[in-house]
Amino acid sequence: MSPTTSCLPQTNMEGLRHLSILLSIAYSTCGRNVSLSIAFTSVTTDNLTNSIRFYTEILGGMLAPELMFRYSGNQHHNMMFQKEILQARQGKVAPAVFGVPDISDNGTYEVVGAFIFFDNGLIQLVQFVDKECPEKSFVVRDQRSSPAVVPNGHVDIWVKSTVDLNMYVHALETRARQLEFNQVMANRPVTVHSEAERERVAIKNYTMPLNATDQSMQWAYFKGPSGEQLELNRMAGDVLLDTGKEYCKRKAVSTAFLDKPHPDNKWKVRAGLTGQNYGLFQHGTRTRSLFGSADFYTEILGGSLGNNGDAGFYGDDDQNMLVQKEMLQAEEWHVDYQSLGIPNITLSGNMSLALRFSYFDNYVIEMLQYDTGRNYSYPKFNPTFNLSTPALINNMRITFLLPESVDMNSYLRDVEQRSAARGFPQVKGNRAVDVNTLGQQVPLEDYSVTFTEGALQGLRYSYLKGPSGEQVSFVQFSGPSSEKLKNALLRYNAVSTAFPETNPWNRGGYDEYCSQFPPTPQHRL
């Protein structure tokens, strides 16, 4: 999300102190030699087939059939849902009450899913279906779809700078209707009081500019086919240059900054105008504490804190773009806004939005915080989902890719220990075996699960909850899964730091572009 900068408040001294601390730790790795990329963002869907069609036929992604998967079993059941299982056990209720489908050895459900490839990242689509009756899906929802609900997430599609984003949104909505995705509708930055009014807004007013005088950035919010929160972001001029500088510092990869133009592949061409994107720009996560989350993603996970973020954004146009769907819903249901997790960041309201970016090797974690006032000294606005389960429909989970050279289980134990030492005792991983308490010490091999057969053979993964309860996972591709990943990346002509063959830095792909930015010394506390 990239809100306007027309209404910046004065930041209090406490906010400045925190901000200076965060800036001082930017690009620090604290002795860790693991440079992480984002493997994928996982989206829980209620209809896998429809979601595949949306992300491929509309957004120009590529389905990798060889990586379509299905699995179940006790280890997966523990790894995906252990926190919720322990909550149910403590409350002496069935795990289903906490949104847990039984995917154990003797359970009713299994996990099915697919990977969709974009220029610099993947979307993993996941559905929980009945083993005997696959058309029957495990469905658990929260009636609040507001992006301000903790720890709601979103994914940002990075639209090419040569494209008018207003026309892109128009094309997306038109194509969605043609394919009968009637629920895929973007918010408008202007005030409307009905869906019919929203439809009548002029195309030129479909998106938000950076501010009234600067069109170098446009952005828009909309919901995907399962209600997942999506964003469109187009950058040009100085905004794109500032982002490129951050990528060059990090030696991150994006097709936006290659020295030679990156040709469109057949999947993007088939999608037409809506295939004109550079892939993914950010995974947004709604945080309880902006400074705490920035510390976690930079100091614990090794992200690079960027300078292109700030605090105190508010205004009627921001309000409309962020939560227009929810405001119309509240009016239809005759309920107050806050009961649906809707903030009031209008000019007449009293709230504001703060955000920061942490760069990884291919795209960005955006952390968002809502305050009940115009600066950091006010209490936070933190409506929270009732359920923490990854089976929640439209749930989004961020997954980091660990190199094969790293001992994954030792790394996971280290993440938990360093998190606790920095004031995040709630960051505890699930285990592959049954335990009595979350984060219980077990043999190292039980910190993760490895697929020994099937489409994902060789893939190892682990789940934990982040500092605001957001779902975070880690994966490591090896053996057959690694070959499949590499071949699919090459087939799509994607860029990735996962393999020498897919990393443009290995062939000087950014030399000319990045030469305009002098090296910046790294800072440490």
Cα separation, 334 vs 323, whole angstroms: 16
Who has greater pLDDT, 209 or 59? 59
Evaluate whether 421 touches 495 at the Cβ level (below 8 Å): no
Task: Give the DSSP letter string of 404-424.
Answer: TTS-HHHHHHHHHHHHHHTT-
Cα separation, 175 vs 56, whole angstroms: 12
374: CB partners within 8 A, 6+ apart: 9, 312, 314, 350, 352
Residue-level pLDDT at 260: 96
Over residues 333-337, the mean pLDDT reads 95
Over residues 75-82, the mean pLDDT reads 98
183: CB partners within 8 A, 6+ apart: 223, 225, 227
Cα separation, 444 vs 415, whole angstroms: 13
DSSP at 291: H
Tokens of 290: 């902006």
Residue-level pLDDT at 211: 63
Q: Does pLDDT of 101 surpass 60? A: yes
Cα separation, 278 vs 170, whole angstroms: 19
Q: Does pLDDT of 1 surpass 70? A: no
Q: Work out the mean pLDDT of the chain and round it to a whole number.
A: 91
Q: Does pLDDT of 18 surpass 90? A: no
Question: What digits encode the pLDDT tens for the residues 372-427?
Answer: 998 778 899 999 999 999 999 999 999 999 999 999 999 999 999 999 999 999 99
Residue-level pLDDT at 5: 33
Which residue is listed with tokens 């976690």?
296
Question: What digits encode the pLDDT tens for the residues 439-486?
Answer: 999 999 999 999 999 999 999 999 999 999 999 999 999 999 999 999
Residue-level pLDDT at 377: 81
Over residues 340-367, the mean pLDDT reads 96
The pair phi, psi for residue 299, each rounded to 5°, is -75, -35
Tokens of 27: 């690009």
Over residues 110-126, the mean pLDDT reads 98
- Pairing mode, strands 208-211 and 277-286: unpaired
Residue-level pLDDT at 20: 36
Of 212-221, 257-266, 272-281, 398-407, the least confident: 212-221
Domains of the chain by residue range:
13-514
- Pairing mode, strands 229-235 and 69-71: unpaired
Residue-level pLDDT at 393: 97
Over residues 49-65, the mean pLDDT reads 98
Of 58-72, 440-454, 507-521, the least confident: 507-521
Residue-level pLDDT at 212: 58
The pTM score is 0.92
- Pairing mode, strands 304-305 and 471-476: unpaired
Cα separation, 228 vs 373, whole angstroms: 28
Over residues 291-296, the mean pLDDT reads 95
Evaluate whether 464 touches 472 at the Cβ level (below 8 Å): yes
Q: Does pLDDT of 213 surpass 90? A: no
pLDDT band at 308 (very low <50, low <70, confident <90, very high): low
Residue-level pLDDT at 31: 35
Evaluate whether 101 touches 110 at the Cβ level (below 8 Å): no
Question: What digits encode the pLDDT tens for the residues 145-154?
Answer: 999 999 999 9
Residue-level pLDDT at 29: 35
Question: With the CA atoms of 495, 497, 501 and 504 taken in that order, what torsion angle do they form, in degrees rounded to the nearest 10?
Answer: 60
Residue-level pLDDT at 312: 73
Cα separation, 477 vs 491, whole angstroms: 18
Tokens of 291: 């400074």
